[in-house]
A and B are shown apart, each in its own frame.
Chain A
């Protein structure tokens, strides 16, 4: 009987002590939506190590420009104009090219354009709040938007979310699927937030805070914020390394 090659080493396991746990009682909705049984550990196999691929043909011309993609011709959204940019890499530091980022956010007053949202701050008729972009060959991405406002939510008696932008990320594998939130450097609401507070470690929280980036700020136009993102990494055998020239 001949030997068969070892299966590849799969994706690095998630560090569940780094991510927020399912149950974090100060975030009240998590109490009834957290599984009570432990997760069943499973090595990744082909179905987890593959995933859908999205091409540039899917993107519209304005998908990465939230200032204009819902605005009437000649108009734009109200609020601080910003550029959000960064790089998507994996845990081994390899860039993740052609990763799809979908973003959504409230307007400058903290109001979401959603059927079930009723905050009294008004909608901006020129702001929808959704955008998407693909990373380039080196893993870099960039989009334009307006800086969202903080908004109140019915959790504690006086809870306010920090200004944030939601991110949904696809790598190359379904196992890498990730949704997170980006916060803004210096926002005093960050340490008060029970959703942020679900993350146990301080340096994990800090990795969600975008830094003001004056080098990419466009004078007389838009400030820039840098937000780098790390997706799970695939362990590689030496043989696979050589194949891919890494």
Chain B
């Protein structure tokens, strides 16, 4: 008989639903006065190190329809590749940069926007450097469990070509779905396609 270890099962996920904003971005849907500001709207609390960038985009469904009820969160390193978190043991991250942001897609247009900084490179588990990237998590009505993806930068071709995650992807033609396009100075476009043609790569990690 095998020995049984007492482990618990993770609480199962459920969809965030169409009214997710009430709890996560109440000011967006007109609930004012409970929270001063919506959590995660400001990632920069002062003069930050590195290049300040803006990322915009939309999330589309399998018929090309833009989701107007999605909420996106990002988590990333600072310009030096350090995380503003207790688990960061390699140095002290930029104290003016939280590294975490939350944005509701615009209720009319579906556009999301993050004002952030371009992250530095972070080591992979074996010590190899990853290309600069931002972790992204997407929830919405119809999404039963939050979707994890990564945003890389199309102007980091050399770093991308040696990234431990991008290089392990079997279907290399799908890699561009993870690349944000630099459309102007400091401005990147990253559109997420949930299903179908050019479907974005999502991770189970």
Contacts and interface: CB of A to CB of B under 8 A. Distances in A.
What's the interface size class on B, roughly?
Answer: 35 or more
B144 A24 contact: yes
A182 B35 CA distance: 23
Contact of B14 (A34, A62, A70, A179): A179
B14 A60 contact: no
A35 to B, nearest CB: 5
Q: How large is the interface on A (under 10, 10 to 19, 20 to 34, 35 or more residues)?
A: 35 or more
Contacts of B133: 47
B24 A102 contact: yes
Given A33-B194, A51-B100, A130-B26, A175 B86 contact: no
A91 B8 CA distance: 5
A39 interface: yes
Interface stretch (A73-81, A184-192, A211-219, A229-237): A229-237
Given A27-B144, A207-B9, A41 B23 contact: no
Interface string A167-181: 011001111011111
Q: Which among B23, B30, B67, B199 has the greatest number of chain A C-beta atoms within 10 A?
A: B23
B77 interface: yes
Contacts of A21: 144
A93 interface: yes
A174 B135 contact: yes
A39 B35 contact: no
Contacts of A136: none
Contacts of A129: 22-23, 31
Given A32-B63, A47-B122, A52-B100, A230 B11 contact: yes
Nearest to A90: B8
A133 to B, nearest CB: 12
A19 B63 CA distance: 25
Contacts of A150: none
Interface stretch (B47-55, B123-131, B153-161, B183-191): B123-131
A42 B165 contact: yes
Given A47-B75, A207-B9, A42 B19 contact: no
A61 B146 CA distance: 30
Contacts of B95: none
Q: Which 10 A-B pairs have the closest CB atoms?
A: A104-B23, A29-B142, A52-B100, A33-B142, A50-B85, A39-B204, A42-B205, A20-B144, A104-B22, A32-B62
